[in-house]
Amino acid sequence: MAKQLHTRSHTEIEKDGVRGYNLEERITISDSLVPTADELRPLQDLDPKFSEFFMQIALKEQDNRHESHMAEVETSNAELKRSANNEILGMILAFLCVLVFGALTALSLYLESNIMAGIFGVFGISSIVGSFVKGRK
C-alpha cells in the first residue's frame, strides 16, 4: 500500500557566541503492493487467506519487474553490439579507403602523372588522419 512518511528535525548549537543550525529532512515513499504487518493483522483476522493473496500479488509483481528489467537489458545489449559492429565496419572501410588512395597514388606515379599522384596522396593522407581524429557529437 502506498505510504508516505515525512519527518523534519532541526538542531541549534551555540558555542562562544556562534550559533549553528542544522535542518534534516527525510522523505520515505513506499509503493509496495504488500501491506505492512500492522495493516495485514486486521485483514488476517477477517480472512486467514488474505496474507497468501497478498504474497501471490507480490510475487507476480516481482516476476513482472524482472521480465521488464531483462527486456531492457537485452535491448541495451543489442544496441551495444550494433554500435560495436558499426565501429568495426568503419575501421575496415577506412583501411580500404587508405589502400585505394595508396594504389591510385602509386598508379599515378607509375603513369608519370605527378599532379594526380599529389592529389591522390593528399586524399590518402587526409583519410589516414580522418580515421584517427574523432569529431564532436
Annotated domain spans of the chain: 90-132
Q: How far is CA 31 from CA 1, 18, 61, 62, in A?
A: 6, 43, 12, 13
Question: Considering only 22-31, 69-78, 128-137, which range has the smallest mean pLDDT?
Answer: 128-137
The answer to whether the CB of 4 falls within 8 A of the CB of 29 is: yes
Helix ranges restricted to H, 47-113: 50-110
62 vs 82: CA distance, rounded Å: 30
Mean pLDDT of the chain: 82
pTM above 0.85, yes or no: no
Which residues are paired to 8 by β-bridges? 25
Q: Which range (1-15, 50-64, 74-88, 106-120) has the least confidence?
A: 1-15
